[in-house]
Amino acid sequence: MAHPMAATSTNADRPARGAELELTVDSLAYGGAGVARLDGYVVFVHGAIPGDRVRAVVDKRKRSYAEARALEVLEPSAERIAPLAAHPGAPWQVLPYERQLEAKQSQVQEALRRIARLDSYELEPIVPASEQWRYRNKLEYSFGADREGRLTCGFHAPGRWDQIVELDDCMLASTPGNAAREQIVRWCREQRLAAYDRRTGEGLLRNLVVREGRRTGQLLVRLVTSTGQLERASLAAAAEGLHGLLWTRLDGVAESTQGGETELIAGADRLDEELAGMRFRISAEAFFQTNTEMAERLYGLAIEYAEPHGSERAYDLYCGIGTIGLLLAPRVAEVWGLELVPEAISDAIANARANEIDNAHFFAGDVRLALRELTGRAGRPDLLVVDPPRAGLSQKVVRRLIEAAPRRIVYVSCNPTTLAPNAAQLVEAGYRLRRLRPVDMFPQTPHIECVALLERR
């Protein structure tokens, strides 16, 4: 499938994979790549911003577009600023922050116009982040080795599964979060443990997941390895000062931190966090917004858009550990939450109890299959909040929402290009997109979160 921004071209116009090109970037595409054109043929250049003239190598070639990686900035854009951190997870740090916000605002509008053909709604100004650095409460690091074979821990270099960029100070993490990472990496080096090599199947260490309760100060660390042995007593001793330390063992070649067999090594297997005056329990693998401070703004906006009057029956779909539903519960008659992950539902039920909320009910189930059953049991919702994963909602799930027939739908989206077709399907079924507002949860990156309100006509 061709990229929606790409143009048609002939074979002769298309550069070969591995070709080096000199390109001038004129705009930014959704996802953060710069857009350049080679005699009308579109090239998406990773690591370049509008106004840059770069030398780039082509990594992928399609019929109507290519993807390339900037090797050298030959002439920098007038907008380009010096990066603060050598961090592969912060590609937009070379753009002034105000310019980042402008780009995200325009990309949300462009997605709704181009994909959904919608423009008769109120697009409100993007909510800027409260902190531009050290805002993440969760980071997943990868293990690797340098040229001398020394164990490293950091992030994959752009476009490379086999190269890890080591960080002395991850500037997306807090100082305590950085210290927790270094504490466990130091133990791994003392034990002479090696990183897992996907090519040979040798080595043990895969990933290190560090979660932080920003309001509670609790640090929960999970070491992810291949199947093998570790000195449990020694590892437990290395967890001094941590709220909890877990060990996850995985089979298979693919890099993932989900699934496998997890064992508690020291402390607690979950952490606590405070959000908008409530306390939430978060299991090791449960979803929680990775920017605590901006999650308050995001969820506050969702509740504002919901316009609760106290008498509604509200559904919270993809409810996770119950954050939105529980924050909404004091403002409505009842909340019904649905989530696929049983551990998250266990957290949601515990969180309702801990916050003395008795009008919220949570169930484990696939929204696609369980929504009809929930409607039959609880009755049709007046208000429905949906916070799906990045892939958005399937057409079948949208049809289930339409069948449930809520008066208002509040859609919390982490991807405007999947929000757009979902919104178009709902509009076609008789809803009106009334309001939409982006929220910058992830400064220095191209990721965009937004909240949309759709009302039944």
pLDDT, one tens digit per residue, over 14-57 is 899 999 999 999 999 999 999 999 988 999 999 999 999 999 99
Report the C-alpha gap between 21 and 43 in whole angstroms.
10
**Predicted confidence (pLDDT) at residue 329 exceeds the cutoff of 70:** yes
- 103 membership: H or E segment, kind and range: helix 97-114
* CA–CA distance, 273 with 371 (Å, rounded to integer): 29
* Percent of the residues in the chain that have a pLDDT greater than 90, as a whole number: 91
Query: What's the number of CA atoms in the CB half-sphere (13 Å) around residue 63?
Result: 4
Number of H helices, E strands in the chain: 9, 22
- What are the distances in angstroms from CA 38 to CA 167, 172, 173? 36, 36, 39
CA–CA–CA angle 332, 336, 341 (5° rounding) = 140
Residue 102: count of CB within 10 angstroms of its CB = 14
Beta strands in 118-276 (DSSP E): 122-123, 138-145, 151-156, 164-166, 205-212, 219-226, 244-250, 261-267, 270-275
pLDDT tens digit sequence for 148-188:
999 999 999 887 878 899 988 999 999 999 999 999 999 99
∠ CA 214-216-221, rounded to 5° = 70
Residue 9 confidence class, pLDDT cut points 50, 70, 90: very low
The answer to whether domain 11-80 and domain 101-130+291-456 are alike in fold is no
Name the pLDDT band for 12 (thresholds 50, 70, 90).
low
138-274 carries CATH number 2.40.50.1070? yes
pLDDT at 111 over 70: yes
Decide: helix, strand or coil at residue 224: strand
C-beta of residue 327 within 8 angstroms of C-beta of residue 321: no
Name residue, tokens 């409530």: 278
d(CA 152, CA 331): 49
Question: pLDDT tens digits, residue range 185-223?
Answer: 999 999 999 999 988 999 999 999 999 999 999 999 999
What's the average model confidence in pLDDT over 387-404? 97
Q: Domain residue spans in the chain?
A: 11-80, 101-130+291-456, 138-274
Question: How distant, in Å, are the alpha carbons of 16, 60, 82, 133, 165 from that of 47?
Answer: 20, 15, 13, 19, 16
- CATH of range 11-80; options 3.30.70.20, 3.30.590.10, 2.40.50.140, 3.40.50.300: 2.40.50.140
Asked about 170 being catalytic, the answer comes back as: no
Specify the pLDDT at position 11. 55
Q: In this predicted structure, what is the pLDDT of residue 14? A: 85
pTM above 0.85, yes or no: yes
Confidence of residue 254 (pLDDT cuts 50, 70, 90): confident
Give mean pLDDT, residues 410-424.
98
CATH 3.40.50.150 fits 101-130+291-456, yes or no: yes
Cβ distance 273 to 328 under 8 Å? no
Percentage of the chain exceeding pLDDT 70? 97
Residue 275 one-letter amino acid: L
CA dist., res. 444 & res. 104, Å (int): 11
Q: How far does Cα 413 stand from its chain's mean position?
A: 10
- The structure tokens listed for 322 are 């119950």
Catalytic hit among 153, 170, 414, 450: 414
Q: Write out pLDDT tens, residues 291-310.
A: 999 999 999 999 999 999 99
Residue 160's pLDDT is what?
81
pLDDT at 13: 64
Tokens of 5: 């921004």
Decide: 163 and 142 in contact? Cβ < 8 Å.
no
Beta-bridge partner residues of 219: 212
- Strand residue runs (E) in 176-323: 205-212, 219-226, 244-250, 261-267, 270-275, 278-283, 313-317
Q: Report d(CA 403, CA 425) in Å as an integer.
A: 13
